[in-house]
Structure 1
Amino acid sequence: MTAGSSSMESVRYWWGIIVAKTMGDEAKIFTLSQVSEHNQAHDCWIVINGKVYDVTKFLEDHPGGDEVLLSSTGKDATDDFEDVGHSESAREMMEQYCVGEIDPTTIPKKTKYTPPKQPRYNQDKTSEFIIKILQFLVPLAILGLAVGIRIYTKSA
Structure 2
Amino acid sequence: MATETKEYSYADVAAHDTKESLYVVIDDKVYDVSQFVDEHPGGEEVMLDVAGQDGTEAFEDVGHSDEAREILSKYLIGNLKRSATDPKPVTTPRSTASTSTDSSSGGLPSFVYAILAAAVAAGGYYYMQLQQQQASA
TM range (shorter): 0.5 to 0.7
- Unaligned 5+ segments in structure 1 are 1-22, 113-156
Q: Counterparts of 2:66 and 2:82 in 1: how far apart (Å)?
A: 25
- TM-score normalised according to structure 1 size: 0.53
Measure how far apart 1:104 and its partner are: 2.8
1:35-83 per-residue CA deviation (whole Å, 9 max, x = no partner) reads: 0101111111100011101111100100000111111012211001000
**Paired residues, what number?**
90
Moved over 6 A (4+): none
Q: Counterparts of 2:71 and 2:19 in 1: how far apart (Å)?
A: 20
Let me know the Cα RMSD of the aligned residues: 2.1
Q: Counterparts of 2:79 and 2:58 in 1: how far apart (Å)?
A: 18
Question: Larger Cα Rg: Structure 1 or Structure 2?
Answer: 1
Equivalence for 1:108: 87
- TM-score normalised according to structure 2 size: 0.60
Q: Counterparts of 2:69 and 2:88 in 1: how far apart (Å)?
A: 25
More helix, by proportion: 1
1:85-124 per-residue CA deviation (whole Å, 9 max, x = no partner) reads: 0001101111110010101336423589xxxxxxxxxxxx
Q: Counterparts of 1:33 and 1:75 in 2: how far apart (Å)?
A: 9
Equivalence for 2:14: 36
